C-alpha cells in the first residue's frame, strides 16, 4: 500500500498505480485532510479494483458516498438525480462501458432534457469513471447548447415590483436581490447577526437536503459567496425596522419566496421573470455605470469574471432604448438624404 505524503497546502495525497496506456504510466490520486483519510480512500479503491467487476450503478453509489461528507446537501441531491437519469447503465460493467454505450445513454437523455442538463449528467458519468476506471477514454458527442438571452427587468419594472409587493418581507427580498445581488437562499437566511451599520455580511444560506427539506447551511453557496455587501442607507434602515422576533429578516424559504415573486409578476402582467433575474439586473446596472467586472463579481459573490461576463452583462430594454436615442442625437444630422 503506497504511503501518503503531505502537500504544501496541508492536505495529504497518495498516488496509486493503475496501469499503462500507450506506454504511459497511469496513476490515481487520493487526497484527504489527514494521512489516514487519504490512505483509506486509496485502500478502498484498490480493494474495488481487484475485483474489476463493478457495475456503473454500484460505482455511482460508491462515488456519491465518498463525496457526501464534503459536498453540500443540494449537490449530493443533484448527484443522485444524475444517477437516476443514467439508470440505463446500471448493470453495465465499468470494464465494458465504452463510447457506444455512453453515446446511447446521452442520446436517450437528449430526447427529454435540455443540452445543459445532459452535459451536467454526462459530467457525473465521467467523474465516476475517473474515480473507478481512470484508464477509460470515452468519445461522446453532446447536444449543442443553444444560446439563450436572459431577459432582465427594467428600472421601471423593478420599481413597480417594490411598490406593489404585497408584504414587507417580499419587498425587502426584491430590494436585497436587485440592489445587493443576494440569492434567494441568502436573502432568506439573513438574520440580525449579519446586519451592520452600512452593510450586511453573507455567511449563511438555505440549501435543500436529500429529503427535499430546506435547511440552513453555515456558509454561502460558494467561497466567493461569503462576502460583505454595502447597501443604501434607506434599505439598511428598512432591514433594521423589519426584523422579526427570532432575528430573521425575511420569513420565507427559497421555494415560498420564488412562489410569491412569481405571483407578483403575474399579477402585474410582467414578463415571467425568475427571482434570480434581479441579480442579473444588479450586475447590468453596475456594469452600465462603469464598475469594473472584478468589483461586481466580488460584491455579487461570483467566483470568476468569465461567468459574470457570459451571463450577467445583457443590456436591459430601457438601456437599449436610451442607446438608440443617443445614436439618433449623435448621428442624425450627418446622414445623407
What top-level class would CATH report for the domain 5-132?
A: mainly alpha
Calculate ∠ Cα 158-159-163, nearest 5°. Answer: 120
* Distance spanning both ends of the chain, measured CA to CA: 84
Share of the chain above pLDDT 70, in %: 86
Does the pTM exceed 0.75? no
What cell was used for 184? Answer: 434567494
Q: Which has the minimum average pLDDT: 58-67, 123-132, 207-216?
A: 207-216
Res. 330: pLDDT tops 80: no
Q: In the prediction, which pLDDT does 318 show?
A: 61
Task: Report the pLDDT value the prediction gives residue 312, as an integer from 0 to 100.
Answer: 52
Mean pLDDT of the chain: 86
Average of pLDDT values for 319-326?
67
Q: What is the pLDDT of residue 147?
A: 66
Which of 25-39, 149-163, 316-330 is most confident? 149-163
pLDDT of residue 250: 94
More confident residue, 306 or 243: 243
The per-residue pLDDT for 337 is: 46
Closest CA to 79 of 60, 92, 94, 52: 60
Tens-place pLDDT, residues 115-159 = 999 999 999 999 999 888 887 889 999 998 776 667 889 999 999
Percent of the chain with pLDDT over 90: 49
- pLDDT confidence of residue 220: 65
Each residue's pLDDT tens digit, 96-121: 899 999 999 999 999 999 999 999 99
Q: Which residues pair with 24 in a beta bridge?
A: 21
Within 10 angstroms of residue 17's Cβ, the number of other Cβ atoms is: 11
Tell me which architecture the domain covering 155-322 has in CATH: Orthogonal Bundle (1.10)
Q: How far apart are CA 206 and CA 72, in angstroms?
A: 11
Q: What is the pLDDT of residue 320?
A: 60
Q: Which residues of 316-336 are buried (b: 16+ CB within 10 A; e: fewer)?
A: bbebeeeeeeeeeeeeeeeee
- Please state whether beta strands 205-208 and 199-202 pair in parallel, antiparallel, or not at all (unpaired): unpaired
Which pLDDT belongs to residue 284? 86
For the residues of 17-73, what is the DSSP string, one character each? EEEEETTEEEEEEEEESSHHHHHHHHHHHHHHHHH---BHHHHHHHHHHHHTTTS-H
How far is 53 from 145, CA to CA, in rounded Å?
Answer: 35
44 vs 93, more confident: 93
Residue-level pLDDT at 42 = 80
DSSP string, 215-226: EEESS-SSGGGS
Domain boundaries, the chain: 5-132, 155-322
Question: Between these two residues, 331 and 96, which has the higher pLDDT value?
Answer: 96
Q: Which pLDDT does position 179 carry in this prediction? A: 95
Q: Closest Cα partner for 104 from 120, 86, 129, 117?
A: 86
Q: What's the mean pLDDT in 291-302?
A: 88
Amino acid at each position: 500500500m503506497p504511503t501518503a505524503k503531505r502537500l504544501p497546502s496541508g492536505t495529504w495525497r497518495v498516488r496509486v498505480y493503475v496501469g499503462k496506456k500507450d506506454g504511459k504510466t497511469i496513476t490515481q490520486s487520493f487526497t484527504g485532510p489527514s494521512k489516514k483519510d487519504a490512505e483509506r480512500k486509496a485502500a478502498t479503491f484498490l480493494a474495488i479494483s481487484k475485483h474489476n467487476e463493478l457495475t456503473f450503478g454500484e460505482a455511482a453509489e460508491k462515488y456519491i458516498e465518498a463525496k457526501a461528507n464534503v459536498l453540500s446537501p443540494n449537490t449530493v441531491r443533484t448527484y443522485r438525480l444524475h444517477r437516476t437519469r443514467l439508470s440505463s447503465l446500471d448493470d453495465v460493467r465499468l470494464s465494458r462501458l465504452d463510447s457506444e454505450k455512453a453515446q446511447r445513454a446521452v442520446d436517450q437523455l437528449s430526447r427529454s432534457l435540455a443540452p445543459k442538463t445532459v452535459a451536467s449528467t454526462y459530467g457525473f458519468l465521467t467523474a465516476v469513471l475517473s474515480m473507478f476506471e481512470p484508464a477509460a477514454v470515452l468519445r461522446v458527442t453532446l447536444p449543442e447548447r443553444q444560446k439563450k438571452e436572459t431577459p432582465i427587468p427594467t428600472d421601471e419594472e423593478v420599481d413597480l415590483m417594490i411598490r406593489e409587493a404585497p408584504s414587507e418581507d417580499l419587498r425587502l427580498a426584491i430590494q436585497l436581490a436587485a440592489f445587493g445581488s443576494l440569492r434567494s437562499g441568502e436573502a432568506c437566511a439573513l438574520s440580525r447577526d449579519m446586519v451592520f451599520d452600512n452593510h450586511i455580511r453573507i455567511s449563511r444560506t438555505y440549501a435543500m437536503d436529500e429529503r427535499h427539506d430546506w435547511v440552513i447551511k453555515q456558509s454561502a453557496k460558494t467561497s466567493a459567496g461569503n462576502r460583505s455587501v454595502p447597501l443604501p442607507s434607506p434599505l439598511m434602515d428598512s432591514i433594521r425596522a423589519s426584523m422579526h422576533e427570532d432575528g430573521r429578516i425575511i420569513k420565507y424559504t427559497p421555494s415560498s419566496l420564488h412562489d410569491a415573486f412569481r405571483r407578483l409578476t403575474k399579477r402585474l402582467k410582467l414578463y415571467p421573470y425568475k427571482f434570480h433575474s434581479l441579480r442579473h439586473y444588479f450586475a447590468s446596472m453596475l456594469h452600465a455605470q462603469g464598475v469594473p467586472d472584478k468589483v461586481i463579481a466580488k460584491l455579487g459573490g461570483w467566483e470568476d469574471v468569465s461567468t459574470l461576463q457570459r451571463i450577467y452583462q445583457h443590456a436591459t430594454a430601457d438601456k437599449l432604448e436610451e442607446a438608440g436615442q443617443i445614436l439618433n442625437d449623435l448621428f442624425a444630422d450627418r446622414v445623407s438624404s
